[in-house]
């Protein structure tokens, strides 16, 4: 039967595709934002956040500190790539969030599985884009209509298996016009950064984390993860499966307390700590923690084998990303 033999979680911030000297370019959007999310549900503009923080993160954005953190993140990603290669998997299930890339507000399922034979990346003209965005699009495999293999038979089995377990799952089978809609950053980053030159078939799980009203709770995501595992294990052909969560942790304001709460639960396998994270802590970019929770639900609460955490501040007020990386070498357990 199919078996999950490896699992991982990785941040996918555009900062991870850029030289640290260009992180200040990404920060310009923070200075202009009026929706910087705190974990108590408040949304602030940058001047309000700066006043609240007192600008205490100034030392974190010196180029030497940024370079040190970029090196740590690169090493963590290299480790995940090596672990994935060593696991010798036949297929990778990527749990990611779609942000107006394949789905839009005219049709936005809470959760869906893609069961097409090919994943086509979304791309659009780069005219007028700042240099950092052009570079990030390459890191996301969104600089062209790149095509990656799907795993149609397993995807269909997972859809049927989830329906049989009372999970109302959406589905998608093709990308008709990748200039208008296609796969986005959550999937392209994992493929481009962790797969190397290997053409590993992918089953994408697309989770709506960003856009109310149909965002699932942490508890529901964890429980669905358990059903995903059961559906995979019910597939009779022998397959070595990896499941990878893409995104998170806290952003666009770094909340190290929230991130450490999540990481501690990951390290010890505390399912209830993950299931009980409140909705107000999972807004905006921090909502991508839900991708991790669903993937961890598929591991039956097993403690992680390794974690790394790097808080990537990019402004004195504390905006940025709590970049986390984790792996589960399940065959060693």
Give the per-residue pLDDT at 53: 97
Q: Find out whether 204 and 119 touch, Cβ atoms under 8 Å.
A: yes
Q: Find out whether 215 and 209 touch, Cβ atoms under 8 Å.
A: yes
Does the pLDDT value for residue 28 go beyond 80? Answer: yes
User: Which residues are within 8 A (CB) of 63 and not within 5 positions of it... i.e. 6 or more apart?
Assistant: 20, 21
**CA distances, 199 to each of 97, 148, 149, 150, 247 (Å):** 22, 7, 7, 10, 22
pLDDT band at 46 (very low <50, low <70, confident <90, very high): very high
Tell me the domains of the chain and their CATH numbers.
3-332 (3.40.830.10)
Give the per-residue pLDDT at 193: 98
What is the number of other CB atoms lying within 10 angstroms of the CB of residue 18? 19
Q: Find out whether 292 and 216 touch, Cβ atoms under 8 Å.
A: no
Give the per-residue pLDDT at 56: 97
Give the per-residue pLDDT at 288: 98
Please give the average per-residue pLDDT across 302-317, as a whole number.
97
Q: Find out whether 172 and 114 touch, Cβ atoms under 8 Å.
A: yes
Give the per-residue pLDDT at 93: 98
**Degrees, nearest 5: CA angle 80-199-201:** 90
The structure tokens 């699932």 sit at: 216
What's the Rg (C-alpha) of the chain?
A: 19
Q: Please write the tens of the pLDDT for every residue from 87-97.
A: 999 999 999 99
Written as one string, the DSSP assignment of 170-181 is: EEE---S-TTTS
Through-space distance between the first and last CA atoms of the chain, rounded to whole angstroms: 19
Does the pLDDT value for residue 159 go beyond 70? Answer: yes
Give the per-residue pLDDT at 301: 79
The structure tokens 């052009």 sit at: 134
Give the per-residue pLDDT at 129: 85
- Is the dihedral angle over the CA atoms 117, 222, 13, 20 positive or is it negative? negative
Q: Find out whether 110 and 209 touch, Cβ atoms under 8 Å.
A: no
pTM: 0.97
- Is the dihedral angle over the CA atoms 204, 228, 84, 269 positive or is it negative? positive
Cα–Cα dist 311/320, whole Å: 8
Q: Please write the tens of the pLDDT for every residue from 102-150.
A: 999 999 999 999 999 999 999 988 778 888 889 999 999 999 999 999 9
Residue 312, H or E segment: strand 306-313
Give the per-residue pLDDT at 332: 56
Closest C-alpha to 245, from 283, 288, 182, 185:
288
Does the pLDDT value for residue 333 go beyond 60? Answer: no
The structure tokens 């501040």 sit at: 313
Residue 302, H or E segment: none
pLDDT band at 81 (very low <50, low <70, confident <90, very high): very high
């Amino acid at each position: 039967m199919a078996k999950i033999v490896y699992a991982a979680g990785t941040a996918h911030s555009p900062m991870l595709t850029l030289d640290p000297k260009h992180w200040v370019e990404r920060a310009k959007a923070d200075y202009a934002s009026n929706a910087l999310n705190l974990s108590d549900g408040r949304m602030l503009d940058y001047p309000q956040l700066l006043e609240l923080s007192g600008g205490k993160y100034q030392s974190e954005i010196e180029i030497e500190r940024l370079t040190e953190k970029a090196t740590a993140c690169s090493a963590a990603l290299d480790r995940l790539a090596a672990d994935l290669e060593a696991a010798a998997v036949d297929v990778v299930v990527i749990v990611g969030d779609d942000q107006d890339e394949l789905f839009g507000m005219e049709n936005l399922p809470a959760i869906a599985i893609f069961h097409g034979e090919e994943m086509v990346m979304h791309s659009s003209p780069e005219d007028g884009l700042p240099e950092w965005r052009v570079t990030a699009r390459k890191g996301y495999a969104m600089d062209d209509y790149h095509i990656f293999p799907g795993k149609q038979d397993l995807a269909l089995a997972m859809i049927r298996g989830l329906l049989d377990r009372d999970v109302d799952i959406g589905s998608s089978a093709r990308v008709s016009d990748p200039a208008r809609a296609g796969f986005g950053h959550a999937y392209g980053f994992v493929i481009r950064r962790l797969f190397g030159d290997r053409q590993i078939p992918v089953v994408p799980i697309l989770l709506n984390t960003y856009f109310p009203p149909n965002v699932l709770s942490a508890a529901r995501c964890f429980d669905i993860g358990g059903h995903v595992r059961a559906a995979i294990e019910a597939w009779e052909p022998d397959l070595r499966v990896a499941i990878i969560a893409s995104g998170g942790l806290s952003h666009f304001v770094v909340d190290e307390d929230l991130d450490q709460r999540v990481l501690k639960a990951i390290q010890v396998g505390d399912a209830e700590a993950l299931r009980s994270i409140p909705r107000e802590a999972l807004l905006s970019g921090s909502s991508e923690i839900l991708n991790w929770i669903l993937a961890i639900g598929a591991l039956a609460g097993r403690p992680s084998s390794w974690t790394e955490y790097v808080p990537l501040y990019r402004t004195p007020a504390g905006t940025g990303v709590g970049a986390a990386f984790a792996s589960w070498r399940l065959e060693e357990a």
